[in-house]
Amino acid sequence: QKEVEQNSGPLSVPEGAIASLNCTYSDRGSQSFFWYRQYSGKSPELIMSIYSNGDKEDGRFTAQLNKASQYVSLLIRDSQPSDSATYLCAVSNRNTGFQKLVFGTGTRLLVSP
Amino acid sequence: NAGVTQTPKFRILKIGQSMTLQCAQDMNHNYMYWYRQDPGMGLKLIYYSVGAGITDKGEVPNGYNVSRSTTEDFPLRLELAAPSQTSVYFCASRDKVSGPYEQYFGPGTRLTVT
């Protein structure tokens, strides 16, 4: 079982729709969760972090964390073509002494005009 | 404030050559990391450092070496380059005190070994 799992996609949504990206993790001791956006040929860019159960909203982005079910999700409202990118989920867990992040392989999002 | 910088942006090496990938940050961050990313794959940690003079192996350290003589710089050395080291290399840093565990990435170095 991979430590952090994501569906590779692509996830295709029309412009203006809600895009829902999911991530599951295996270590119950995980405490910090991050979503990075990576455009093709570019470096990962941090867009959301979440540390406690529930929802965290920032503009069009909402991160949702459910530690009991060991998943974290990212919702993108009013999706725009400029949101087309690969979204990486990253987790900091007890196995790594919380010093390192474990990354999923990413979900590719395509937003069509 | 330039953040995390990496040089070079691109490099082509012949098998068996050596090179150093440079990484520098001006945010006074304690933690620094080196990752590699292969096409369609996630980020794999090569080495990391929690402060000057302290380094440790990550998930895929074979074929690489690092040093951390200053807080600002964290170079990655490739000895005897092999085609399997063709990848995009990212350096990242994190502040120990604030913004817990959030890592910030440099622009990357695209390396081809032929």
Following DSSP, what letter does each residue of chain B receive, concatenated?
Answer: ---EEEE-SEEEE-TT--EEEEEEESS--SEEEEEEE-TT--EEEEEEEEETTEEEE-S--TTEEE--SSSSB--EEE-S--GGG-EEEEEEEE-SSSSTT--EE---EEEEE-
CA distance A102 to chain B (A): 8
Lowest mean pLDDT among A17-31, A75-89, B23-37, B99-113: B99-113
Report the pLDDT value the prediction gives residue A100, as an integer from 0 to 100.
Answer: 86
Distance CA B55, CA A67 (A): 31
Report the pLDDT value the prediction gives residue A99, as an integer from 0 to 100.
Answer: 79
pLDDT above 80 for A1: no
Nearest CA in chain B to A6: B42
CA-closest candidate to residue A106, choices A92, A91, A86: A86
Lowest mean pLDDT among A28-37, B77-86, B90-99: B90-99
A112 touches chain B (CB under 8 A): no
A52 touches chain B (CB under 8 A): no
Q: Which pLDDT tens digit goes with each residue over A9-47? A: 899 999 999 999 999 999 888 888 999 999 999 999 999
Q: Which residue did the predictor score with more confidence, A17 or A8?
A: A17
Report the pLDDT value the prediction gives residue B39, as an integer from 0 to 100.
Answer: 83
A103 touches chain B (CB under 8 A): yes
Mapped onto helix, strand or coil, the DSSP state of residue A17 is coil
Phi, psi of B76 (to 5 degrees): -115, 125
Strands B4-7, A107-112: parallel, antiparallel or unpaired by DSSP? unpaired
Test the B interface: residue of A8, A89, A99, A108 with most B CBs within 10 Å: A99
Report the pLDDT value the prediction gives residue B41, as an integer from 0 to 100.
Answer: 82
Q: B69: exposed, middle or buried (C-beta count within 10 Å: 0-12, 13-18, 19+)?
A: exposed
Characterize A35-55 residue by residue with b for buried, 16 or more Cβ atoms within 10 angstroms of its Cβ, and e for exposed. bbbbeeeebbebbbbbeeeee
Report the pLDDT value the prediction gives residue B95, as an integer from 0 to 100.
Answer: 83
pLDDT above 90 for B56: yes
Of A32, A43, A105, the CB nearest to B100: A32
CA-closest candidate to residue A61, choices A50, A47, A51: A47
Lowest mean pLDDT among A38-47, B26-35, B42-51, B89-98: B89-98
Report the pLDDT value the prediction gives residue B97, as an integer from 0 to 100.
Answer: 57
